[in-house]
Amino acid sequence: MLTIGDLSKATGVKVPTIRYYEQMGLLSPAERSEGNQRRYSAGERDRLAFIRHARDLGLTLDAIRELIELSQHPEHPCRDADRIAAEQLAAVRRKIARLRKLEAELERITTHCHSNQISDCYVIRALANHDLCSDEHD
């Protein structure tokens, strides 16, 4: 059995986050020692590692909850898990496209500025006047 501190060290998840996941029902309530100290099994360590990896990939807590539920039924087809992953991939691609637009706009406004004084700085003017932007990027 692992203490919450040991579980934190083993998974890289902070103690308050472990407590939060427990409150949210992503982790089963911990067993308690006679001294009321939380005790976690290797299975809970594995579940927490799963949650951490899913969070690292940007999955929402709802998606993780659904994946955990799906994992309880290994005989079922994996189409729902595939759907969740595909939805996350689409969201990541949208974010990447938005970041590329932001990158292009920031590059444009920083290379467009040839002033030595803030009073004539293109960066400041472009930030103050959205009409100076070359593209929608919000």
Q: What are phi and psi of 60, to 5 degrees?
A: -75, 165
Domain residues for the domain of 26 are: 4-112
Query: H/E/C letters for each residue in the chain?
Result: CECHHHHHHHHCCCHHHHHHHHHCCCCCCCEECCCCCEEECHHHHHHHHHHHHHHHCCCCHHHHHHHHHHHCCCCCCCHHHHHHHHHHHHHHHHHHHHHHHHHHHHHHHHHHCCCCCHHHCHHHHHHHCHHHCCCCCC
Residue 76 within any structural domain of the chain: yes
Residue 8 lies in a domain: yes
pLDDT per residue over 76-88, tens digit each? Answer: 999 999 999 999 9
Query: Is the separation of the CB atoms in 42 and 76 below 8 Å?
Result: no
CATH code for the domain of 32: 1.10.1660.10
Instruction: Please give the radius of gyration of the chain, using alpha carbons only, rounded to the nearest integer.
Output: 23
In a domain, 103, yes or no: yes
φ/ψ of residue 40, rounded to 5: -120, 145
* Residue with the larger pLDDT of the pair 114 and 68: 68
In a domain, 106, yes or no: yes
Is residue 138 in a domain? no
Within-domain flag for 126: no
Q: Give me the pLDDT at residue 13, please.
A: 96
Domain count, the chain: 1
Question: Average pLDDT for residues 40-46, to the nearest whole number?
Answer: 94
**Upper half-sphere CA count for residue 110 (Cβ side, 13 Å):** 6
Residue 90 lies in a domain: yes
Choice among 13-22, 58-67, 101-110, 114-123 with the minimum mean pLDDT = 114-123
Q: Tell me what pLDDT residue 137 has.
A: 65
